[in-house]
Amino acid sequence: MIDLLIGALASGLASVLDYLSAHVLTCLVPAFFIAGAIAAFVKKDAILKYFSPDAPRHISYGIASVSGTVLAVCSCTILPIFAGILKKGSGIGPATTFLFAGPAINILAIIYTAWVLGFDLGIARAVSAIVLAIVIGLAMALIFRSTDVETLKKKAMAPSVAGACEEEKPRWVTPAFFALLIGILVFGASPLDWALRLGVVYILTLAIAVLLIYYFDKDEVTDWGLETWDLTKKIFPILIGGTFLVGIIAFFLPPETFQPYFGNNSLGATFLAAVVGMILYMPTLLEVPIIGTTFGYTTGHMAAGPALALLLAGPTVSLPSVLVISRIVGAKKTAAYVGLVVVFATIAGFLYGNGMSLL
């Protein structure tokens, strides 16, 4: 019994250590700074123009659904950005679409999926991710209409104040600032040689420092730091705790346990794959070797339907991310979001798997 307890705790600790070494410096730190910058520097009107509940749906959901092609991030990294967008007055629908699409349509993951698991599955993942992101966002907006009504009331009551400092700086400064932050996120998490990544990140950091020195005043920089810290202290501890818990669960119930149940394209198999994807924490790109080798897709032991369901649900939700999302939007919205992801991932996998079996 003591050996089991020690093994479980060691598994949880190893999970946390792996997570910290793989994500904190290259993904989470830039993501938190981007989220803090959104809250501090981006005008509320700019966010509401595209993500407000009263914005044209084809624009807000269209932009949100392809967001992951710009930000090559995983589910843990998208969370602070999601929180920053909501804080600025985004509608629950576009924000949820952004939350799902960020990791689901990750351009690196799509290419890697097509390269390792096959071109057809890579294309199916990309198309399904965009469609599901929009559908899930629209469903969340329909279910929680009262949330958007309240957001619109706050928007109407809030005074429109333009910061003097923002008007004084050239219009290109803020977009350039965000482009540099995104560049650090993209290059920091890229598979390039570490020396090349370090050099590029160093240059981008120097460029950010120049912009901060010459175009931003002390109060703006301080506000950025405070917003970043506020998001970090709310999200990071929950994320670490959830990752530790996932490591303990994996010790007692390893993924190989489910392998015999994924060999066909039945509704039950695709549903189980979606549920497993919802529970497991799979960093971006890691879902590909897990599906290819652990669950045996490349060797024919896993059917196409469950593979797609796991590819759609796994990167977008996990036990750690569910805990953080609950902290951001509450238990009811989190339960609805997770349920929609599992249901639509199951449907997409079922349709794809049975369609492929007919070819």
Angle between helix 119-143 and 107-117 (nearest 10)? 140
Contact 278, 339 (CB under 8 A): no
For the chain, what is the total number of helices (H) and then of strands (E)? 18, 0
Contact 140, 191 (CB under 8 A): no
Question: How many CB atoms are located within 10 Å of the residue 161 CB?
Answer: 8
What is the Cα–Cα distance from 101 to 288, expressed in whole angstroms? 17
Kindly state the average pLDDT of the residues 94-115: 80
Query: Between 241 and 341, where is the model more confident?
Result: 341
Nearest C-alpha neighbor of 201 from the set 146, 303, 192, 46: 192
- pLDDT above 70 coverage of the chain, percent: 81
pLDDT for residue 92 is more than 80: yes
Nearest C-alpha neighbor of 89 from the set 155, 159, 32: 155
The full length of the chain comes to: 359
What is the Cα–Cα distance from 39 to 41, expressed in whole angstroms? 6
User: What pLDDT was estimated at residue 46?
Assistant: 60
Nearest C-alpha neighbor of 31 from the set 109, 83, 94, 87: 83
* 107-165 pLDDT per residue, tens: 667 777 888 788 899 999 999 999 999 999 999 999 988 765 565 555 555 554 444 44
What is the Cα–Cα distance from 132 to 127, expressed in whole angstroms? 9
Q: Would the pTM of this model clear 0.75, i.e. be above it? A: no
Contact 307, 273 (CB under 8 A): yes
**∠ at Cα 288 (9, 183), nearest 5°?**
90
pLDDT for residue 82 is more than 50: yes
What is the Cα–Cα distance from 131 to 348, expressed in whole angstroms? 10
Query: Between 19 and 347, where is the model more confident?
Result: 347
**Most confidently predicted of 61-70, 248-257, 275-284:** 275-284
Query: Between 353 and 32, where is the model more confident?
Result: 353
Contact 301, 263 (CB under 8 A): yes
Q: How far is CA 202 from CA 5, 22, 192, 195, in A?
A: 43, 19, 15, 10
Mean pLDDT of the chain: 81
User: What pLDDT was estimated at residue 207?
Assistant: 95
pLDDT for residue 15 is more than 60: yes
Nearest C-alpha neighbor of 303 from the set 115, 58, 118: 118
Task: State phi, psi for 298 to the nearest 5 degrees.
Answer: -70, -20
Distant-in-sequence, close-in-space partners of 299: CB < 8 Å, separation ≥ 6 = none
User: What pLDDT was estimated at residue 71?
Assistant: 56
**Most confidently predicted of 34-48, 108-122, 207-221, 314-328:** 207-221
**Most confidently predicted of 83-92, 244-253, 319-328:** 319-328
User: What pLDDT was estimated at residue 43?
Assistant: 65
User: What pLDDT was estimated at residue 285?
Assistant: 64
pLDDT for residue 187 is more than 50: yes
Question: How many CB atoms are located within 10 Å of the residue 235 CB?
Answer: 25
Least confident of 63-67, 130-134, 256-260: 256-260
Strands, DSSP E only, in the chain? Answer: none
Q: Is the dihedral of CA 127, 129, 134, 135 positive or negative?
A: positive
What is the Cα–Cα distance from 344 to 132, expressed in whole angstroms? 7
Scored b (16 or more CB within 10 A) or e, 324-336 reads bbbbbbeeebbeb
Question: How many CB atoms are located within 10 Å of the residue 233 CB?
Answer: 9
pLDDT for residue 286 is more than 90: no
**Most confidently predicted of 152-166, 174-188, 274-288:** 174-188
Query: Between 73 and 32, where is the model more confident?
Result: 32
What string of DSSP letters covers 61-76?
HHHHHTGGGTS---HH
C-alpha neighbours within 13 Å on the C-beta side of residue 205 = 12
